[in-house]
Amino acid sequence: MSKLSRIDPLVGITDKLKRPVRDLRISVTDRCNFRCTYCMPEEIFGERYEFLPRPEILTFEEIERVARIFAVAGVSKLRITGGEPLVRANLTDLIQRLSSIDGISDIALTTNGYLLPKFAEGLKKSGLSRLTVSLDSIDENIFKKMSGRPHGPKNTLDGIRLATELDFSSIKVNVVVQRGVNDHTLIDTARYFKGTGVIVRFIEFMDVGT
């Protein structure tokens, strides 16, 4: 029997400061359809880059079991991340599984939004509560430069627009700010989402060596 399966539900999980842990981040893939310059730059994560072999990726059944164990220990919120989680096949099936777990009251997803127009409705129906979308600029050229892809932000913007119509409990847009790259487009991005109910957050760029 694993250590996780012996967690005492009366004690739960605490961090180093003895605070109860209520959130669990679940990375469902290390793959991504973008090559953002500050995260997965093309020169490193090119065609020859070896991602995790599929047998090493947790199955939906395994993820559900882990989530159930943590729910018993007091976790009530789950965040689905990657890589880009929407490139994982049948992700809505996983979210439906997770949303049925007793004690889980909130499921969030972090995405670059490119596939959101295709999956937003299914995500909502499967039980997803909140969305966080990474969008560094609404300017087409800056978007291309920072995402490492030849397309502009249209798909991402369309996905966000659709999500607002589906009444998710929260939609946030994360903008990584890089001096001399996209800092001159921040006001335009903020203005674009003004009055939409979308929360825009500007995040300081941190060079982690990628």
pLDDT digits (tens, 9 = 90+) for 9-59: 546 788 889 898 999 999 999 999 999 988 888 888 887 788 888 889 999
* Pairwise pLDDT comparison (162 vs 2), residue with the higher score: 162
What is the three-state SS of 93-146? HHHHHHHCCCCCCEEEEEECCCCHHHHHHHHHHHCCCEEEEECCCCCHHHHHHH
Q: What is the pLDDT of residues 138-171, one digit of tens each?
A: 999 999 999 999 999 999 999 999 999 999 999 9
| Per-residue pLDDT at 4 | 47
Using alpha carbons, list the distances in angstroms from residue 4 to 13, 15, 18, 57, 139.
10, 15, 18, 19, 46
* Pairwise pLDDT comparison (50 vs 177), residue with the higher score: 177
* Per-residue pLDDT at 62 exceeds 70: yes
Q: Closest Cα partner for 204 from 171, 162, 166, 174?
A: 174
Q: Closest Cα partner for 114 from 177, 146, 158?
A: 158
| Per-residue pLDDT at 1 | 44
Q: What percentage of the chain exceeds 70 in pLDDT?
A: 93
* Domains of the chain listed by start with CATH number: 4-204 (3.20.20.70)
Amino acid identity for residue 142 in this structure:
I
Spatial contact of 142 and 122, defined as CB atoms under 8 Å apart: no
